[in-house]
Structures are given as structure tokens and as C-alpha cells.
Amino acid sequence: MAATALSVVLVATLVMAAVEFRPCWSQNITRASFPKGFVFGTASSAFQYEGAVKADGRGPSIWDTYSHTFGKIIDFSNADVAVDQYHRFNEDIQLMKGMGMDAYRFSISWTRIFPNGTGQINEAGVEHYNKVIDALLGNGIQPYVTLYHWDLPQALHDKYTGWLDRQIIQDFTAYAETCFQKFGDRVKHWITFNEPHTFAVQGYDAGLQAPGRCSVALRLWCKEGNSATEPYIVAHNTILAHASVASVYRRKYKPAQKGVIGLSFDVIWYEPGSSSASDVEAAQRAQDFQLGWFLDPLVLGDYPSSMRIRVGNRLPKFSASEVAVVKGSLDFVGINHYTTYYASNSSSGIVDFLLNDTLADSDTVAFPFKNGKAIGDRANAIWLYIVPQGLRSLMNYVKQRYGNPPVYITENGMDDPNSLFKSIKDAQKDEKRIRYLNDYLTSLLASIKEDGCNVKGYFVWSLLDNWEWSAGYTSRFGLYFVDFKDNLKRYPKDSVKWFTNFLSHSA
């Protein structure tokens, strides 16, 4: 999960607005409501779950470095232990099986396979993931594997600044191919990248995530970086790396392994802040600078025209040979969706002067409230407002703009605060999460049944409370409560009962 909207709403949410509560959907839905074969699962990432950061030859990643840098994590924590799934995966698989989940989306830690990013394979890391995959399949759960969930090997960042250098394309492709060789006989769904927009912007523009590069706001919190150019370079190299990996998989492995390969995008849905033409256009630009930035090249062959116009020569160009490999390199589209905002046209030269970055380039401002009212009830995170209908709108947008490709909702969920004053028993009562899941799934179902959107599966974030990047342990997204004070014991929240009941009703 990613705090994708953090930099957008940081200032705005300092003042709490009156909340406009939206009614829950009344429709009673179950697994049987969805098409036959629709996949339900939970999602996670290696760095947020595994812990055991020095076990069995694992090398350091940029997030190890970043999380150990003073002041970068809100509660001064790190993910050295996280929820210890490295040692407890069998226990957690039983939790998924007990709920009736079909699939588990998890990521492979690049530095468990190649501790320095390249070179000799770490067989202990390979053995670990073989055990995880075999355990999942042995319990009737399909593995959906993400190859990169933000944990770039620190050695590659030190060697050539990682995603800022085109050498990363070759090194990432070599790592991915190793995973195909070692695990592809059993893994049939591959996700090359999780939220490239997030790590490009938050890591190389706002400087709020690893590796913490930026030049915004007079360089108050970043020692190095260039917010006007680096996020575009990182994004471009990421797109080329995905295309390279997809090409290798299709040529060398897909004929025998018969799997599919996609990419997961973070997508806020944007509603125009008003009915004015300028705000309608702003909402489209906000989407262009978010989803379109990455999905347009992969489906349509180039960046959105609004980006070409506003970014100019700072936006890299694809050669004809690169377009041939990039365009059409997705078998499916992964969507990580949590919330909806209002988007309006920006005319502030002060913002442009202070930022000189992707937000200034987009000429948009996005907030979760207008006229003193929030767009929906708020979860715990300052950026997460609950607007179920936004998911249906987003599915229709993907259908109409990109030709109705196969879509998996690879993340969706909401968090509660990690309150020091709430008992475990009270923390297990998560009625708001149950409403969130029911309402978002109802909205998703409407997009499938009524609108014909080609959605194939849904992964809730997340099975367990876990370490939430810059938010540390202050945010609880899990269906299961994890007691961070008592040996990481797992306790089912009421949402576990709800989801178990939901999944038990099959057609």
C-alpha cells in the first residue's frame, strides 16, 4: 500500500472539514454475485511483511537505508521485523485458507535473490520463495507475484543511482528472468512493478519515500535530486524495464509456462471540482499525470498529449523500436485504488515556483473536500476518504480509454489508527472496514454486471496489520490485528468473519 496522495493533501488536511457521510450500499452481495472464476485474495509486499532483513544472505535495499534514517518514519520505526512473515508464512497461509481466499499477491525481495542486485544467485533466497509458493499451492491458493515493490537493492543505487540510469533495465530484466526460471513453472500471474507512479513521485520528486530525492521547497528535506527531471527519467526507465521483461517472458517462458504478465498502478479517481470546463479538463490532466503517464505508453504507445505539452523536453521520448516493444506489453492491468478526490485547475504561479515538479507541471490541484464538506468519510490516513462510487467510475474510465483490458483490483482497503488506548477486543470491532469492503465490492460488481467492465479479480489490502512505509506502525490496514507488543500474535477482526461469510457463498 502507498500513501499516494500524501503530498497533495498534507496542507489541506491540517484543517478538518465537516464530513459528508455517504450512505452504505444496501445490496447484499457474496462471492456468488460475481462471475464464475472471479478471483478473491489478499495483497502484501516483502518489505512490509517479511522482516528478517539480514537472514539467509539478504542484502540491503534503499528502504532499509531510508527507514533507518532519522526523521523519515513518523513513529521512528523500521521494518527489520515487520510481521515476520519470512518465518510465519505457513501460519498466515492457514489464515487465508480459513477465510476461503483463492489467491495471495506477494512480492519477491530482489536482494534475497541477488543481495547486490546482480552477480551470484543467493540460493537460500530461492529456496525460501519455493517454500512459500509450494505452501500456497498445497493449500489451494494461487500465487500472484510482484517482482518489484519498491525495494531497490542499495548496491545498485550506490553504483549508478538505480532507476535514474538505463543500466537498471538490463539488471532488472536479469533478475526477473531468474525468477521466471526458478518459479515460473508454478507462478502463472506476474506483476512487474507495484505503483511506479508512487515511487517515481514520492521517491524522486517529493522526497517523502526512498531514496528520498527532491529539489522542492528550497531543498528543506532532501540533500540531492531534481524534481523537475528525475521523476520523468525514473518513470521512463521503469516503463522500458517492464517492456523488456515482458518481451523476455513472452519469447522464452510463456509458451511452456503459460502465464500472464501485468503491472499494478496506483489510481485515485478524480471528480471535477466544479462543472466548469477548466475543472473538467483539470480532472483529465490529473489522471493523465497519474495513470496515463504509465498506461498510455503501454497501451497507446506514447505519453498523454497533456504531458508532452506541459513537460516539454524534460519528458523523455520513445524511439520507434522502443514503442514496438512497449506498446501492447501488458496482458492485464492491475489497479490499486483506495480513494477519490476533487480536481481543479491551478493558476498559482507561487506553487509552480516553489515546486517546479510534476504537480506544478500538471496545472492541477486535488483535494478531498469542497465547500467545507469532505468527499466522504475519512479512514485513519490523512489521504484516504471513503468514496465507493469512485471505483465504478474508474473501471469505466479504464474500459473506455484503454479498450476494456482484463483488470485485477490488486489493492483496495482502509486503515484504522494504531491507538495505544484501545484494547485488542475493541480494535477487532472494525465495522467501518466492513462497510468499506461491502460498498467498494458492490460498486465494483456494478461496473462488471451493469457496465461490462472486464474485471477478473479483487485483492484486499491487507491480510495483516503491517509496517506502512513512512507511516510506520501508526496505520492498521489488516483484516487481522497484529499485536506488536506480544510476539506479533494475529487476532481476527470482525472483517475476517464478514469476508469469510462473503466467500463461503459460491454459485
Which string of DSSP letters, residue by residue, matches 91-114? HHHHHHHHHT--EEEEE--HHHH-
Annotation says 322 is catalytic: no
Contacts of 7 (CB under 8 A, 6+ apart): 201, 202, 206, 208, 359
Q: Are 210 and 162 in contact (CB under 8 A)?
A: no
Rounded Cα gap, residues 491 and 465, in angstroms: 10
Largest CA distance in the chain: 60
Contacts of 100 (CB under 8 A, 6+ apart): 31, 40, 500, 503, 504
Omega into 211 within 30° of 0, i.e. cis? yes
Distance of CA 25 to the CA centre of its chain: 26
**CA geometry: angle 4, 166, 56, nearest 5 deg:** 70
Return the closest-CA partner of residue 162 out of 106, 230, 263, 64. 230
Inter-axis angle of helices 123-138 and 85-99, to 10 degrees? 10
Give the bridge partners for 40, in sequence order.
458
Annotation says 195 is catalytic: yes
Rounded Cα gap, residues 463 and 157, in angstroms: 31
Rounded Cα gap, residues 484 and 296, in angstroms: 42
Read off the C-alpha cell for 369.
473536500
Name the active-site residue from 195, 230, 271, 468. 195
Name the active-site residue from 50, 230, 322, 411. 411
Q: What is the dihedral sign for C-alpha 224, 78, 44, 121?
A: positive
Q: What SS3 class is residue 480?
A: strand
Q: Are 339 and 386 in contact (CB under 8 A)?
A: yes
Task: Give the residue numbers annotated as catalytic, written as ranges.
Answer: 195, 411
